[in-house]
Amino acid sequence: MQKCYLALGCFWKPEEKFKSQKGIIDTEVGYAGGYKSKVTYEEVCQGNTGHAEIVRLSFDEKIITYEKILELFFKMHDPTQKDMQFPDVGTQYRSEIFYDNDEQKKIAIKVKDNFNKVYNNKIETNISPIKNYCKAEEYHQRYIEKNRR
């Protein structure tokens, strides 16, 4: 089992979309990429911690590859928007792939380059090593599932 960490705007919808994919074993929403090891939603929303809202995926690479997950990532949001996913604006809503090892970095660069050709070199997605990941508060976990009416 592998893990990956993806920022693509508000974490609620991507978590919902990814958890339905075959091979995704578990999802968790959280924050990563900032300056502190522990943060709260309120701190992240102020926009000065450097964290992005992310979805952490645990997946079975025999069923779904990291490359396939990244292809889905680029199709699930607008990677040409910088520091936002309309209507959410702020650095915490940026598009970013956080890699866990050199192989993930290599694949992320390859997939981004392929999509950059499609988007006429307008991709704003960052590729960075994972740092300062912390799980979001419990009320954010599976938010859409918990709040269906």
Q: Rounded to whole angstroms, what are the CA distances from 113 to 20, 21, 71, 109? A: 27, 24, 11, 6
User: Using CA atoms, how far apart are residues 56 and 148, in angstroms rounded to an integer?
Assistant: 22
Please report, for the chain, how many H helices and E strands are present, in that order: 5, 8
Q: Rounded to whole angstroms, what are the CA distances from 130 to 20, 62, 71, 89, 102? A: 24, 23, 19, 22, 12
Residue 10 is a catalytic residue: yes
Q: From the candidates 4, 10, 45, 134, which is the catalytic residue? A: 10
Length of the chain: 149
* Residues annotated catalytic, as ranges: 10
